[in-house]
């Protein structure tokens, strides 16, 4: 819809987002072979102040990728293994009586970190899953009527195995809706898998990975991406896609306004890391699947036929007309 932006016309603030994103991407790629598209989506979630649900089989490098991202940011990192006996206090923290002080002391749980990896979140009980809701939505934890803020930036990377369902507790719709996007890492290509063998043959590249940016800088970049501009036609295109999910014949409950805002912010972050200060329709098409698909609640007949949410979003993207008029980038406000 628009011509590529002249590098000389990129605002310095947006240029800094692109430069820092490139540094982080290249640093993570020193450990993770390929999967640059997945790394970019993690950066989008980070800059959008959102969270990510990674749904894939074990052994795809989800934990290593999360650790590499945390090290690249110089951020604090905690990993929690989801199990049926995991209690809410195991992640939020607990108050105990300190005999030396003669008073109760709160011991912070692993939620008080900047990047939290919660492995196999669907193996935790609904009670523990619900303990995450406040942290993910409001970036705070309330214990015994006292609310405590979480560190910033705060990113939850939760994983679940779609194959083994025995002993699991499916995430409720309210929980799924708190995740900005749901991703799949996928198998590497043959060449990538051979490169993995060579890279990890003698050394552990993660151990030597150093930070390339201060984690506190991410908070500034999160504000910068909010300044990305929208054309009215592109905004209406995004709204048309979301509203189409609410009237689609196979959908019982479509995307909520929270999902609309999630896609809106994700597009802004993606445009910024690509070095643009305006959103393209292609940005919306790229992000619609990971941001919207997990927010759909399909009809019983649709589920029985095995039709996936991703297929429904793909159909909607084909049906909704794309703005094609070649115009200048949106005027600066």
pLDDT digits (tens, 9 = 90+) for 2-55: 445 555 577 888 999 999 999 999 999 999 988 899 999 999 999 999 999 998
Taking residue 32's Cβ as centre, other Cβ atoms within 10 Å add up to 23
Count of alpha carbons within 13 angstroms of residue 196, beta-carbon side:
15
DSSP 126: H
pLDDT score recorded for residue 332: 60
Fold of 8-224: Rossmann fold (3.40.50)
- Tell me if the domain spanning 226-333 has CATH number 1.10.8.80: yes
Range 58-64, long-range pairs (CB < 8 A, 24+ positions): 58/161, 60/185, 60/186, 60/187, 61/32, 61/35, 61/185, 62/117, 62/119, 62/157, 62/159, 62/185, 63/117, 63/119, 64/31, 64/32, 64/206
255-307 per-position pLDDT tens digit: 999 999 999 999 999 999 999 999 999 999 999 999 999 999 888 888 888 88
What residue ranges do the domains of the chain occupy?
8-224, 226-333
């Amino acid at each position: 819809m628009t011509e590529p932006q002249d590098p000389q016309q990129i605002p310095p603030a947006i240029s800094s987002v692109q430069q820092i994103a490139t540094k982080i991407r290249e640093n993570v790629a020193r450990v993770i072979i390929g999967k640059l598209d997945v790394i970019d989506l993690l950066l989008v979630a980070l800059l959008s102040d959102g969270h990510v649900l990674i749904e894939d089989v074990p052994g795809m490098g989800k934990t290593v990728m999360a650790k590499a991202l945390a090290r690249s940011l110089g951020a604090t990192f905690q990993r929690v293994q989801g199990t049926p006996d995991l209690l809410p206090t195991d992640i939020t923290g607990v108050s105990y009586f300190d005999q030396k002080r003669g008073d109760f002391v709160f011991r912070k749980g692993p939620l008080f970190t900047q990047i939290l990896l919660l492995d196999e979140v669907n193996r935790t009980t609904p009670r523990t899953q619900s303990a995450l809701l406040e942290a993910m939505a409001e970036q705070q934890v309330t214990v015994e009527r006292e609310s405590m803020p979480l560190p910033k930036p705060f990113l939850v990377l939760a994983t679940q195995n779609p194959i083994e369902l025995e002993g699991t507790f499916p995430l409720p719709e309210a929980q799924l809706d708190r995740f900005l996007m749901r991703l799949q890492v996928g198998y590497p290509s043959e060449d990538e898998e051979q490169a993995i063998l060579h890279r990890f043959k003698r050394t552990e590249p993660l151990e030597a990975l150093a930070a390339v940016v201060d984690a506190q800088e991410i908070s500034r970049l999160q504000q910068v991406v909010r300044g990305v501009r929208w054309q009215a036609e592109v905004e209406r295109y995004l709204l048309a896609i979301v509203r189409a999910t609410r009237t689609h014949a196979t959908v019982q409950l479509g995307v909520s306004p929270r999902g609309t805002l999630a896609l809106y912010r994700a597009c802004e972050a993606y445009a910024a890391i690509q070095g643009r200060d305006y959103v393209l329709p292609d940005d919306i098409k790229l992000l619609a699947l990971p941001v919207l698909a997990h927010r759909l609640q399909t009809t019983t007949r649709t589920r029985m036929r095995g039709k996936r949410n991703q297929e429904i979003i793909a159909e909607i993207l084909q049906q909704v007309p794309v703005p094609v008029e070649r115009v200048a980038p949106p005027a600066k406000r």
